[in-house]
Amino acid sequence: MQDTGKAHPLRRGPLRISGAAALLTFALATTATAPATARSPAPQKYTVVMANMSFGKLPGGVKVGDTIVWVNRDSVPHTATARNKSFDVRVQQGQSVSMVVKKAGSIAFYCIYHPAMRGTLAVAAQ
C-alpha cells in the first residue's frame, strides 16, 4: 500500500476586490443668496409725524439699523436734529424723509427752526 500523499493545496479563490470606486460628483448649484447674518432681526420701520408744531408719538423699541420716516404735515419746514449730532434731518412742509438709526442711546432732539419742538428717542443697540 502506498500512501500517495495527496497534495492538498490550499486553494484560495481568486480574491477579486471589485472596488466600487464611485466618484460622486456633486454639482451643487448653490446660488449663495442667503445672507450670512445669523439671527439679527429684520430692521423695522417707524413713522414720526411732525404736526401742529410738535413731534407726534415717538416709537418704542427702536434699534440701531431701524428706519424712521419723519413726516411733516405742517405748512412750514421742520428738522429733527439730535443734540448729540447723531442725526439731523430736514423735512420740508408736506414731505417725508427716511432715516436709518445709526447710534444707540437716549437721544434728545429738536427742531432748529422751532426749538420748542423737542423729543427724546430711545434707541437700543442691535
Pairwise CA distance, residues 21 & 17, whole Å: 11
Pairwise CA distance, residues 86 & 68, whole Å: 13
Nearer to Cu ion among residue 113 and residue 126 (C-beta): 113
Q: How far is the CB of 59 from Cu ion (least distance, A)?
A: 19
From residue 59 to residue 78, what is the string marking binding to Cu ion with x (rule CB under 5 A)?
-------------------x
- Written as nine digits, the cell of 93 is 412742509
Q: Which stretch binds Cu ion (CB under 5 A): 2-10, 60-68, 95-103, 105-113?
A: 105-113
Q: Give every CB contact of residue 69 below 8 A, 6+ residues apart in sequence.
A: 45, 46, 47, 48, 96, 97, 98, 99
- Written as nine digits, the cell of 64 is 440701531
Pairwise CA distance, residues 18 & 114, whole Å: 88
CA-to-CA separations, 31 to 28, 34, 95, in angstroms, rounded: 9, 8, 40
Nearer to Cu ion among residue 30 and residue 52 (C-beta): 52
Q: How far is the CB of 103 from Cu ion (least distance, A)?
A: 22
Does residue 118 bind Cu ion (CB under 5 A)?
no
From residue 23 to residue 62, what is the string marking binding to Cu ion with x (rule CB under 5 A)?
----------------------------------------
Q: How many residues bind Cu ion (CB under 5 A)?
A: 5
Positions that interact with Cu ion (CB under 5 A): 78, 111, 113-114, 117
